[in-house]
Amino acid sequence: MKKIITVMLAAVLTFASSCQKEPNIRFGFDCDFGKNSQGLTIMNVSSSTKSITLTGEVVVAEGEVLVELINPSGEIEFIGHLVSPIALEVNDSYPAVSGNWKLKYKSIDGEGSISLHLNINTNK
């Protein structure tokens, strides 16, 4: 009986250690925001990335919020200055540029929610 348990335990440990984790390819926000809050996420894009998509929704119930996507060269790829009441759906693609991409938001006396994500695509 001990031999069977030992063999099974060895098999489970071998299987668990052989699993490879998928790289994190999605960055962004899933949160409510309040007055004068802000957020920043940075995603490093490699040269094997073909494109980047920005998807999700921003809902501003009160005040304003500023959302920006900035490429590694410092150029703004997406900007949204949203004034309440508004709900904005985003589904945009951009050619990949290697380096650090920044997605940020800044509430200007705003309240609402943000569910906005950067996704990388390594397929052609």
Whether the predicted pLDDT of 123 surpasses 90: no
Q: How confident is the model at residue 122 (pLDDT cuts 50, 70, 90)?
A: confident
In a 13 Å sphere around the CA of 15, the CA atoms on its Cβ side amount to 6
What does the pLDDT read at residue 39?
A: 95
Q: What is the rounded average pLDDT of the residues 99-116?
A: 96
Whether the predicted pLDDT of 10 surpasses 60: no
CA distance 29 to 57: 10
CA distance 42 to 65: 19
Mean pLDDT of the chain: 85
- Count other C-beta atoms under 10 Å from residue 5's C-beta: 9
Domains of the chain: which residue ranges?
23-121
Could you tell me the fold of the domain covering 23-121?
A: Jelly Rolls (2.60.120)
- CB of 124 closer than 8 Å to CB of 51: no
What does the pLDDT read at residue 99?
A: 95
